[in-house]
Amino acid sequence: MAVRRARDRVALDLWQVIGAVEDVPATGAATTVLMEETLAVSRGPAGIAVHLPETGEALPVLLRYGYVWTSLGTPPAELFPLPEWAEPDRRNLNAGTVGVHVSAPRAIENFLDMAHFPYVHTGILGAEPHTEVEDYDVEVSDSRDEVLATRCRFWQPMAATTATGAIMADYVYRVPHPYCAVLYKTCPAEPHRRDVIGILLQPVSEERVRAHLMLSLIDHDNPDTVLRRFQQTIFGQDKPILENQVPKKLPLDPRAETPIRADKSAVAYRRWLRQKGLTYGTIPAAA
């Protein structure tokens, strides 16, 4: 096994996202950083290739959900499933890639968190006095090895680009990968279906990420730029909060921070990370 700067085998053996397929240049190579290693990404005769310029080592490549995935270790055969992405009438796009000075697990918790909507996404995903987080269900699904939060509901003034007024939005959250989370929320355009939004985090280092915002929406009207702008506005509101979180790495010691019932999904996520033995981007609990 090649020597890596990062030590965490669990994280090294995962598939990690490194960018949108469409952003790989037609000629030449783009460089990016994954877990402190500089990678070169290029298009070759056999498709997209990733290698480490430092040693010339070629890395495995997987193209899924519009993104390029690679691994610095020995990855599993497949990535987590996302069947909705294949539905023919969905708008699948990368809404943007944003660098954030925070650990990947902190960004996941922010994505799972509803209580911040009225304060951070005021007038869009929430507004005072609608601050209550009703009870919801969380489980760690054994069959799929993911954290699943269901029956989540929150009052939203403007839940999506297709919204025409405030709705009580229903959410389901999945964390199918330590650094990736996906949500399914009420689609104002077709209430029986769900818009899918994913945050795919590329850990640049333990305290820095590139966040790739994945959309798979049902919206037949708005152009890409409008969909992108909506998502970028939301994430632009989260970024300064995330960058003002101390410590930047996620503390796994239960006594580091004060959870409330609304944080059930974060509590389950921290426990799941502890069970996996994943440490990259966390402050492990003292034994």
Q: Which residues bind other proteins (CB under 8 A)?
A: 109, 113-116, 118-120, 128-133, 155, 240-241, 244-247, 251, 253-264, 267
Nearer to other proteins, 22 or 243 (CB): 243
The distance of closest approach from Cβ of residue 227 to other proteins in the complex, given in angstroms and rounded to an integer, is 26
Nearer to other proteins, 88 or 129 (CB): 129
The vertex-158 CA angle with 88 and 136, nearest 5°, equals: 80
Nearer to other proteins, 150 or 237 (CB): 237
The distance of closest approach from Cβ of residue 265 to Fe ion in the complex, given in angstroms and rounded to an integer, is 14
Q: Two tokens at 104? A: 């990947």
The distance of closest approach from Cβ of residue 243 to other proteins in the complex, given in angstroms and rounded to an integer, is 9
What separation, in Å, do the N-terminal and C-terminal C-alpha atoms of the chain show?
28
Using CA atoms, how far apart are residues 184 and 67, in angstroms rounded to an integer? 19
Nearer to other proteins, 118 or 198 (CB): 118
Nearer to Fe ion, 202 or 231 (CB): 231
Q: Which residues pair with 197 in a beta bridge?
A: 183, 215
195 binds, among Fe ion, other proteins, none (CB under 5 to 8 A by kind): none
Task: Find the binding residues for Fe ion in span 226-245 (CB under 5 A).
Answer: 238
Q: Confirm if 270 and 178 have CB atoms less than 8 A apart.
A: no
247 binds, among other proteins, Fe ion, none (CB under 5 to 8 A by kind): other proteins
264 binds, among Fe ion, other proteins, none (CB under 5 to 8 A by kind): other proteins
* CA distance readout (Å), 180 to 46, 124, 224, 242: 27, 23, 23, 16
**DSSP designation for 284:** P
The distance of closest approach from Cβ of residue 261 to other proteins in the complex, given in angstroms and rounded to an integer, is 6
Q: Is 37 in the site for Fe ion (CB under 5 A)?
A: no
Using CA atoms, how far apart are residues 211 and 220, in angstroms rounded to an integer? 26
The distance of closest approach from Cβ of residue 121 to Fe ion in the complex, given in angstroms and rounded to an integer, is 6
Q: 181-198: string of b/e by CB count within 10 Å (b at 16+)?
A: bbbbbbbbbeeebbbbbb
The distance of closest approach from Cβ of residue 198 to other proteins in the complex, given in angstroms and rounded to an integer, is 22
The number of beta carbons lying within 10 Å of the beta carbon of residue 174 is 22
Decide: helix, strand or coil at residue 41.
Answer: strand
Q: Confirm if 64 and 182 have CB atoms less than 8 A apart.
A: no
Nearer to other proteins, 122 or 275 (CB): 122
Contact footprint for Fe ion (CB under 5 A):
238
